[in-house]
Structure 1
Amino acid sequence: MSIETERRHEQDHSLAARFEMVRRAADASLAGSVTDLCGYREMLPVCSRNVEYASLTVPLVISFAEPFAIGLGRDPGDNDRFASFAAGLFAGPVVIQSFGGACCVQINFTPLGARRFFGLPMSELTDRVVGLDDVLGLEGIALRERLGEARDWSSRFAIAESFVAARLAEAKRMSAEIAWAYRQVIGSGGRTRVSVLADELGWSRKHLAAKFSDAIGIGPKTLSRIVRFNRALSLSKHQLDDWAGIAADCGYADQAHLVREFRDLAGETPTALA
């Protein structure tokens, strides 16, 4: 075994001793609404800092232990502590700090699934972190108790999926027009023009943006930006240092446009992220 291999093994062992993370794809019955579920538990009193880039995930976190410190587009302050919460879409980096005592289940919703599950305009969650009690009321409190009493991650995931499925079964269907427009943006990699979507629906761009923001939490233009950014981020793993090519592939005007978007949505330049 080489020194480098030994060092990697030591690092893996060190990380495994600090926290436990179990991730599972959502049941097929929740397809299109939930992407996956994650169980997370910290086992050593070590402070950590993580930055998450702009994404199309709407997380619901149910905590049984210490809260996280969360800052949208900045480092969190003393009043930015959240235990169980839902977070809407945010077109920028999110800074998350933990302090060694966290334990939680996270359910990751798609924007369409989140609208149906929470049963409220997603614009009410945009750029916000909202407490569990405020978004789910007494149902949320009961869910937290059940999850905290479960014996293992598998049991917790089953409870969470059952809870989500029951709420979705009672929820109103998403507007067919908005669902169609959303899928057009996703399917095109964020390259479909808003004016084309509006024309297809027979709506004005202003009406489309208003309806879209209410249902999804952000307008179609911002959605397109996040989709393009995440595609560029994915391509960068295989096209190292070819930022001009990535910019062209993802529909940016030029490489400078890509750099500006990375600064806005990740808080870093492409080179720094790579």
Structure 2
Amino acid sequence: MPTAGQARDAAQIWDIAVPARPGRLPGVSMAGFRARTADPVDLGVIPYPAVTVVVDLGDRSLSVDDPGGRHHGSIVAGLAAGGLRGHGRAVECLQIRLSPAVAHAVLGASSELGSTVVSLDDLWGRDADRVQERLRAATSWPDRFALAEAALGRRHQDGAAVDPEIAFVWRRMVTCLGGVRVEPLAAEVGWSRKRLWSRFRSQTGLTPKRAARLIRFDHAAHLLAAGHGAARVAAEIGYADQSHLHRDVHAFTGGTPTAVSAAPWLAVDDVAWAAPAYLFRTPVRHAGQ
């Protein structure tokens, strides 16, 4: 098991680029990853409350394992996809995180947004090949970000949007860090509990209860990675007790709070997603260099 220090060192595996400014499509964030050496990469992935699209910019150098097998090339990982490990040599990829309110239209998917991993080709067909070819041909990260944003914008415009009630409920869950009950949310949007449960699941791939648990787990995972003890995290976030936190961590990762606190993927998060969009920090290289 890696120590916290080793988890921080894992961020040094990558050169990471982020867009210079927020994109025009809300609910979308992007980061570019390039392995700094040709050494093999083997990285466990912590579930995150967004649908993740990983576009392989190498020659199918990236593979992702999930409980169902191994996937090669560009993939889409659903909201609660767990037990994932990324592998490869000289990996170069674009990672896109999509709010479920955006992902439904952009990906043209529903159940795939839950806990599964699917090929991008399976969702986008020939359009996936066209987009990947353009991204691989681009000579700088700013160009790649612009191309990806344009492709996402086209698909979002042509796709079927989630119900505004579902988008509202998701925002409330995020604002409350998952600490909300389904019945009051249903009342707020004027739906029955049964209707909210059914529509939410059909458009995000998760039930409202599991989505709220995932959002709360994500907050807990980042506090654990920041060095806070499990007992303190459980008390601060509103878990019934430390055992409740342990159960949620195990449900989403198969591991323990100690293992999550040292997860290399969260160290990468610190650089790729938590920093202001305009900031490039070591080991981040300014896009285009």
Which TM bucket (shorter chain)?
0.7 to 0.9
251-260 vs 232-241, which moves further: 232-241
**SS of the residue aligned with 1:173?**
coil
User: Which amino acid letter does the alignment assign opposite residue 19 of structure 2?
Assistant: R
Q: What is the CA deviation profile of residues 46-102 of structure 1, one whole-angstrom value per residue up to 9, with x for unaligned ones?
A: 222111112112122222323433233x5x85xx1320122222253422222x132
**SS of the residue aligned with 1:49?**
strand
**SS of the residue aligned with 2:125?**
helix
The answer for the alignment partner of 1:84 in structure 2 is: 74
User: Which amino acid letter does the alignment assign opposite residue 104 of structure 1?
Assistant: C
In structure 2, relative to structure 1, the CA distance for the partners of 1:67 and 1:126 (3 Å cut) is: farther
In structure 2, relative to structure 1, the CA distance for the partners of 1:262 and 1:205 (3 Å cut) is: same
In structure 2, relative to structure 1, the CA distance for the partners of 1:272 and 1:131 (3 Å cut) is: closer
**SS of the residue aligned with 2:60?**
coil
In structure 2, relative to structure 1, the CA distance for the partners of 1:24 and 1:239 (3 Å cut) is: same
Which of 63, 70, 74 is the equivalent residue of 2:64? 70
Mapped pair 1:105 → 2:100: no
Q: CA deviation at 1:215?
A: 0.9
The answer for the alignment partner of 2:143 in structure 1 is: 155
In structure 2, relative to structure 1, the CA distance for the partners of 1:91 and 1:65 (3 Å cut) is: closer
The answer for the alignment partner of 2:239 in structure 1 is: 252
CA distance in 2, matches of 1:244, 1:227: 19
The alignment of Structure 1 onto Structure 2 pairs a total of residues equal to: 254
Structure with larger Rg: 1
Which of 184, 191, 195 is the equivalent residue of 1:196? 184
Mapped pair 1:116 → 2:112: no
Which of 87, 96, 104 is the equivalent residue of 2:86? 96
Which of 24, 35, 47 is the equivalent residue of 1:29? 24
CA distance in 1, matches of 2:148, 2:117: 20
**SS of the residue aligned with 1:39?**
strand
For structure 1, the 5+ residue unaligned runs are: 1-7
**SS of the residue aligned with 1:24?**
coil
In structure 2, relative to structure 1, the CA distance for the partners of 1:102 and 1:237 (3 Å cut) is: closer
For structure 2, the 5+ residue unaligned runs are: 262-289
8 Å contact from structure 1 (residues 212, 219) kept in 2? yes
Q: CA deviation at 1:255?
A: 1.0
CA distance in 2, matches of 1:151, 1:91: 32
Q: CA deviation at 1:237?
A: 4.9
The share of aligned pairs that are identical, in percent, is 33
The RMSD of aligned alpha carbons is 2.6
8 Å contact from structure 1 (residues 19, 41) kept in 2? yes
The answer for the alignment partner of 2:260 in structure 1 is: 273
Larger RCO, structures 1/2 (Cα 8 Å, 6+ apart): 2
